Amino acid sequence: RDLHKEYRRQRQMCIRDRYSATQGQRFLPVHTDEGQWSLTLALNDLDEYDGGGTLFESEKLIIRPNIGELVMFRSSTLHAGAPVTRGTRYIIAAFLFVTDE
């Protein structure tokens, strides 16, 4: 079985490279993700940008992991990407699918 082909077919991972205060995307509105688990891996230091983070509205909580740290949660949880107000936040967002195979 060609695992690479299977990986591409299922689109098990989505990488989003940046949220910027001045260019392109600053935030994501409240939403849920596909899959069973979602994670966001921080790729830069907190002092390189202001704002940002994963917002969990129902808990009134924003989690801002530092470089190398991640946030993991059930994909069905309502969440948002808080607006970046200065600098650029670099992340990897991954959506994990659990199968019986």
Please check the confidence at residue 2 and state whether its pLDDT lies above 80: no
CA–CA–CA angle 41, 44, 45 (5° rounding)? 115
Please check the confidence at residue 3 and state whether its pLDDT lies above 90: no
What would the pLDDT profile of 14-30 be if each residue is shown by its tens digit? Answer: 555 677 888 888 888 99
What would the pLDDT profile of 85-94 be if each residue is shown by its tens digit? Answer: 999 999 999 8
Query: Around Cβ 15, how many Cβ atoms within 10 Å?
Result: 9
Question: Which is it for the CA torsion 31, 78, 37, 93, positive or negative?
Answer: positive
Q: Check residue 15 and give its pLDDT.
A: 52
What would the pLDDT profile of 45-69 be if each residue is shown by its tens digit? Answer: 999 999 999 999 899 999 999 999 9
pTM value is 0.78
**Res. 36 pLDDT band, cuts 50 70 90:** very high
Please check the confidence at residue 5 and state whether its pLDDT lies above 80: no
